[in-house]
Structure 1
Amino acid sequence: MVERIMQDWLNKAWVHYIHDRYEEAFQCYVKALTISPNNIEALYGLGNIYKVKRNYTKAFELFEKVLAFSTDNEQAWNGKGATYNHMGDYQNAIKCHEKVLEINSTNINALYALGFIYRDLKNYKKAIEYFENVLAEQQGRKEEMGLNKLFSESKSTLYYLGNIYEEMENYEKAIMYYENALEMDPHDFNIWDKVGALYLKIGNDEKADYCFGRGKSKFFKDFFDHINRKVKKPKPKSTIELLKQGDEHYEKKNYNQAFRYYEKVIEFSSSNKEAWVKLGNTFCKLNNPEKAIECYEEALKLNPKSREILADLERVKKEVK
């Protein structure tokens, strides 16, 4: 009974954490620790929250506490590495993530982290090596991950590889990876625009026009035209039920499915600010910050005094700078 109560607190903490509700997550982890003071999952979770809040001393203290119980705890080593990375101490971050790979050479989080660090250090060769390893691991876990998660995560990795080749000005390679990402998710309008811009750079105007026709500006024009069209549409039995179904897919990380439910709510009620916010959150998870910004702006028009929506909007705008 006690074990089940503790697990409930841990589950609630995780749901709050992935939705960026850090204060609520913090309280849930504390509740779990009152039941089991040395619970590794709760200690690690609190360490992550302190890292996000930039209280690096407390974050390190908690990760070290986990490692005192289990020196080979991959999450704690990754947590330390991520904290060093937040601090701009890339060398120590690399050491921590490499320690994880010594323990488990297939740890995707460590491979990802090293890919991002080397990309930021402009060591593109090493970054590509790590992202290619991530891609190989994702493809090898097809049955374990399920198709929805595989497509979502593989698309992200392909997108990052495209970014790197674009920074290297190897536009043909960048296009190849972006187009592979679009095979995973042909509705990613941000990538269509990126590919269109690259085709312009290499002088292929015809393909550029096609890509821009599939891109963000075309999507939003068609989307809003559809919403504002003066045609009587049958209302669903409950937009609340549609939102609930979208939330269920969102929590399972089935972001493409979540997108469809939130979009459906907006089709029936373009003044539903909650759906606009949730659609914005989903676009963030699908690595489309530009579209997320437009959704948050729509939500803010409907509720101009909302501090939460404004905070979401400002956070995403910082990410695209």
Structure 2
Amino acid sequence: MGACPDVNFDKIYTLNTDDLEACSDIYCKIANDISRRYHFKEAILYYDKAIEMNPNNSEAWLYKGWALCERGLYEEAKTYFNEAIKLNPEHSESYYYKEALKRKENIIKLLQEIKLDSTDTKSLLEKGIQFLNYRDFYKTRIYFEEVLKLSPDYLTDCVKPLWKKGIEQTGSINERMIYLEEIIRLAPDIPDICNVLIKEAELLESDGLYNEAITCYNKALELNPEYYEQWKDACFNVWRDKGIGLFYKRFYNEAILCFEEALKLKPNDTRMLENKEYLLEIINKRDN
């Protein structure tokens, strides 16, 4: 990835807050960078910021539509594609829009095929798992959704293979994230959802998305306050690693803020206190 999306972009890039169009373009580029790594949920937050700063940024509307499409939210994506084309009619010829239409057509055809055999829930489940093993995520989602419409009691049967794929070390971070996200979407209230959020947070952190990792850890803590000690250790590590990453990028002031967040969780951590003191010396030398 190019620039780390967790640097304080509000501070770095919006120094001239009068130029909202430029700021919007920057947030859109950040979102595109995150999307290329298949973190569509996180990218959508940056597209929202881009649209907020400049509602006429047609590319932000277009690419948010694509990010929603990648998450299977086709109806919601349609709204963003329509707005993008309204702002810039040339987007009607873009790859993203045409591919979204193609996918929706394929889904309609697949649903028609499923209805021919919709009474056999077990068969639909087996086909969904088969597509999962083929890494055909979109067909897996459709089959699992149909299974749950027919029999909600099959929820565990749908979640288990997704969880297995989500924790497998052989899959890429991007693929594993998709499977974990699908569990959260299909079964947000299952007892083990905290473990899913924790695993998602670990993957986000390993891919440099520190703020998003913190958000996942916080969600897990909200759901289960007994997770506090594990949450504290995990968040401390995230703030520490993010601070070190910013230090190596020479974002010293931002690194200090991260170290301070870490010290709020463990005020007496000797190594972190030493890191902060060392960094303050560098900043003082730079500024004097």
Q: How does the TM-score come out when normalised to structure 1?
A: 0.35
Which of structures 1 and 2 has the larger relative contact order (alpha carbons within 8 angstroms, sep 6+)?
2
